[in-house]
Structure 1
C-alpha cells in the first residue's frame, strides 16, 4: 500500500483564497470581542448610578474598577495555557459562558463587595475570551492577510464599548443600572449557543493534538471544497513541545521575543489606560468645558479604531515590526504635542486622534503580531500572557494619573512624560524586529 503524502495545513491555508468559512470565523470572533468590550466598559458607564443608588463616595468605587482589571489579568494567565492543552474553541466557549453568567449574577448584587467579587469573576472570563479569539482568528487566516483580518476583528472591542455607552444611556433612566448588567450577561449566553454550533476548533490545534484526521479534512474542505484530501497525512510544519506551554515561552528561540513582547504590552497598555482614564480630567484643567473635553477624548478611541485597520493593512505589506516601531514612536510625539495644544480644541482633537491612531492601533497590531510569533503548541499562552503582563501596565496607568496630577507639572511636561512609555514600546518593537531577522538569517545560514 503506497505511503500517504504529507499535507502542510499552514501552506494549505496560505495558498487558498479566503473562504466564506474563514470570514465567518472572523465575524464570530468579532462578536466575542464586541461583547467583551461591552462588559468591560459597562462598569464605567453605570458607576455614577451605582454611587447614587448605594450612597457611596467616589473613593469607594475604586475597588470596583480594580476588580475587573485584576480579573482580566488573572483570566489571561489562566486560560491561555488551558487553551493550548484543551483547545481554543472549548476554552473560548467556556470563557464566554463564564463571563456571561457572572455579569448576569452581578445584576442581583446586594452590596458593593458582592458586586466587586462578581466583577472580578466577570473579568476572569473576559481575560480568557479575548486572547483566544485573537489566537483562533490568527490560526485560520492566510499569512498574506492575517494582520489586517486580526486587527479588523479586534475592532469589535471598540464597537462593543461604544454600544455599552449607548445601551447605558437608553436603559439606566428607564430600568436602572442593573438592566445594563442583565443585557451584558444575556448577550454572551446567546452568543455561546451560536459559537457552540458554528465556531470550529483550530485546524492547527487538531493536528498538533493528534485528533481524528476526519475532523481536519472536514475543516479544510470548508476552506477549499474542491481540494483532494485523499491519501494525505496532515502536518503543521513544526514540532510539538514536550514542556508546559508556559515553559515554552522561555525556550532559547522564544525567550528574547517573549520578554520584548511583555515590555511592549506593558508600556503600551500603561499609556492607553492612563489617557483613557485621565484625559478628560487633564483637559478640563485647561479650562475646557466638560462637553468639549469629552468630545476630544472620544477622538482617542476613534483614532484607535482607524489606526488598527490601517496599521493591520500595512503590516501585511511591510515588515510589521518596523511598522509598529514607527507607529509607537510617533504616538510618543503626538501625545507630547497634546500638552502644548490643549487650549486649542481643534488642534488638541487632532493630536488626540493621531495619538489614538498610533498607540491604540499599534496595540491591536501587537496582538496580531504576537499570535504569529509563537508556535501552535504555546500560541494561546503567548498571546494571553503578553496581555496579562500588559494588564499590570493598565493598572499602573489607571492609578498613576492621580500621582502625576499631584506633582503639579505643567501640561507640556506632563504629556511629554506620558509619551515616554510609547517611545520605549517603539524601541522594544524595533529590537524584536532585529531579533527575528537575525534568527531567520541564522536558520538560512544553517541550511
Structure 2
C-alpha cells in the first residue's frame, strides 16, 4: 500500500536520503560502473598494447611514454569541457556523448598506420574519456542516500579498476602483433554502454530541480526513487539554492571551498601521478625483471584486485566520517611502492603489486566520493571535472617521469622512489583536507 505524502512540498534531499537501496539506485550505479569499465579498459589498453606497437613502428621502450601520456592530456580538456556540459545541459547528456566519442576514436586507434596517427587518435579518445568520471560520479552522488553515498560511488567507480585489468588478460592470450584487437574491443564496448544508458540512465533529479523546479520529469523520478509513496502531480520539490547561474571558476572557491578546492586538486594530482606511473610502466618493468608475459600479467592483475578492495574499504570509512583514512592510505601507498622496488622474486613482487594497488589505486577509487560530496549540486560535475582535469597533469607526468627514469637505466628500487615521494606530498595535503571537509561527511 502506498503511503500518502503529508505535504505538498517535498525536500529532494529527504526523498533521496530516506530511500531504500533498491533497483532504481542500483541501475544508476550499474550504468555508471559500465561507463567506468570502458574508461578503465581504454586507459590501460595502450600499456598492454605497447610491446606490439613498439615492434611494429620500430620504437625504443622509453619512446612509448607519449603514447601513455597523450590520452591523459586529452582527458584534461575532456574533464573540464564535459564537466561544464554536465552542469549546463545534464549529466546524462554528458555521459552519452562522452561514451559515444570514446567508441569512435578507440576504433580509429585500431586502424592507425603510423605512431603519429595513433597519438592523435589517443588524444581525442582521452578527451572523450575525460567526461565520464566527473559526470558518473556526480550522477551517482545525487541519487545515493547520504548514509551509503561513498560506498555506492566507489562501487560504481571500481568499474575503472576492473576495466583496467581486462586489456592485460587479453594481452596475455594474444600475440603482440595483434595489438589492434585490444583497441577494437575497447571501441565496441562503449557502444553497448551508450545503448543501455540511453534506455535506462535517468537524468539527475537534483539537476532537474535546479534547472526547472516544475519539470514534469521530477515527479516521475521521485516515484521511481520512492515507489512506496503516493506523490501527486502537483507536488512541489524543494532543493537548496534553486537559482541556476552560469558556472564560473570562482564558485569553486566560495566559502570554505577556498581551502577545500586547492587541497582536492593536490590530492588529485598526486594520486593520479602515482596511479598512472604504476599503471603505465608496471607490465614493462615486471617483464624486464625476467618474468615471462603470463607471469607479468598475473602479477599486474594483483594491482587491480588490491585497488578494488582498497577503494571499498576506504568508502566504508568515509561513510562513517573517518576522513583520516585518506592520508593513511597515501602514506601506506608510499611505503608499498618502496617495498615493491626492492623485490625480485615473483611471489614477493605479486605481494608488492597488491600493496600498491590496495593503497594507491584504492585511494583513487575512494577519493572520488570525497570530491563529489565536497561540492554542491550546481557545480558538482564542474568541481569534480576540474579536480579530474587538473589531476591529469599528475597522470601525464607519471608515465613521462617513468620513461625518463627508465631511459636513465636506474635500478627498479630507485625508479619507485618517484611515486613514493609524490604520495607523501599527497598525504600532507589530505591531512589538511580531512580537517577542512569534516562538516561535509556524517559522523558515526
TM-score, normalised with respect to structure 2: 0.89
Paired position in structure 2 for 1:432:
433
Paired position in structure 1 for 2:206:
204
Paired position in structure 2 for 1:325:
327
Q: CA deviation at 1:242?
A: 3.4
Output one character per residue of 1:293-325: Cα deviation in whole Å (capped at 9) or x when no partner.
5544432222111111122122212x2421212
Distance 1:65 1:110 in 2: 18
Distance 2:74 2:297 in 1: 28
Contact 2:323/2:438 (CA < 8 Å) preserved in 1? no
1:81 aligns to what SS in structure 2?
helix
Distance 2:347 2:157 in 1: 28
More displaced, 27-36 or 156-165? 156-165
Paired position in structure 2 for 1:374:
375
Distance 2:180 2:107 in 1: 9
Q: CA deviation at 1:123?
A: 1.1
Paired position in structure 2 for 1:443:
none
Paired position in structure 2 for 1:180:
182
Q: How many residues were matched structurally?
A: 435
The one of 19, 23, 26 aligned to 1:20: 23
The one of 165, 168, 177 aligned to 1:165: 168
More displaced, 354-363 or 108-117? 108-117
Write the mapping of 1:112-123 to structure 2, written as runs, cut at 5 A: 112-123=115-126
Contact 2:70/2:396 (CA < 8 Å) preserved in 1? no
Paired position in structure 1 for 2:154:
151
Write the mapping of 1:235-384 to structure 2, written as runs, cut at 5 A: 235-240=238-243, 242-279=245-282, 294-317=297-320, 319-340=321-342, 342-384=343-385
Contact 1:172/1:179 (CA < 8 Å) preserved in 2? no
Contact 1:10/1:237 (CA < 8 Å) preserved in 2? no
Q: Would the alpha carbon gap of residues 408 and 178 (structure 1) be closer, same or farther in structure 2, given more than 3 Å must change? A: closer
Contact 2:164/2:304 (CA < 8 Å) preserved in 1? no
2:313 aligns to what SS in structure 1?
helix
Q: Would the alpha carbon gap of residues 192 and 211 (structure 1) be closer, same or farther in structure 2, given more than 3 Å must change? A: farther
More displaced, 187-196 or 146-155? 187-196
Distance 1:34 1:146 in 2: 20
1:65 aligns to what SS in structure 2?
helix
Q: CA deviation at 1:177?
A: 3.4
Output one character per residue of 1:337-388: Cα deviation in whole Å (capped at 9) or x when no partner.
3344x14543443333223211211111111110111011110011111111
Output one character per residue of 1:104-140: Cα deviation in whole Å (capped at 9) or x when no partner.
2333333332222111111111111222111111111
Paired position in structure 2 for 1:42:
45
The one of 234, 237, 257 aligned to 2:237: 234
Q: Would the alpha carbon gap of residues 306 and 286 (structure 1) be closer, same or farther in structure 2, given more than 3 Å must change? A: same
Paired position in structure 1 for 2:4:
none
Distance 1:165 1:127 in 2: 22
Unaligned runs of 5+ in 1: 441-447
Contact 1:272/1:359 (CA < 8 Å) preserved in 2? yes
1:321 aligns to what SS in structure 2?
coil
Distance 1:56 1:416 in 2: 26
Distance 1:58 1:417 in 2: 19
2:253 aligns to what SS in structure 1?
coil
Q: CA deviation at 1:94?
A: 0.6
Q: CA deviation at 1:19?
A: 1.9
Contact 2:69/2:396 (CA < 8 Å) preserved in 1? yes
Q: Would the alpha carbon gap of residues 321 and 108 (structure 1) be closer, same or farther in structure 2, given more than 3 Å must change? A: same
Contact 1:272/1:394 (CA < 8 Å) preserved in 2? yes
Output one character per residue of 1:4-47: Cα deviation in whole Å (capped at 9) or x when no partner.
74311112111121120110111111111111122222222223
Contact 2:311/2:366 (CA < 8 Å) preserved in 1? yes
Q: CA deviation at 1:400?
A: 1.2
Contact 1:307/1:357 (CA < 8 Å) preserved in 2? yes
Paired position in structure 2 for 1:222:
224
Paired position in structure 2 for 1:77:
80
Q: CA deviation at 1:286?
A: 6.6
Paired position in structure 1 for 2:3:
none
Does residue 394 of structure 1 match 2:395? yes
Output one character per residue of 1:207-227: Cα deviation in whole Å (capped at 9) or x when no partner.
001164321111111111121
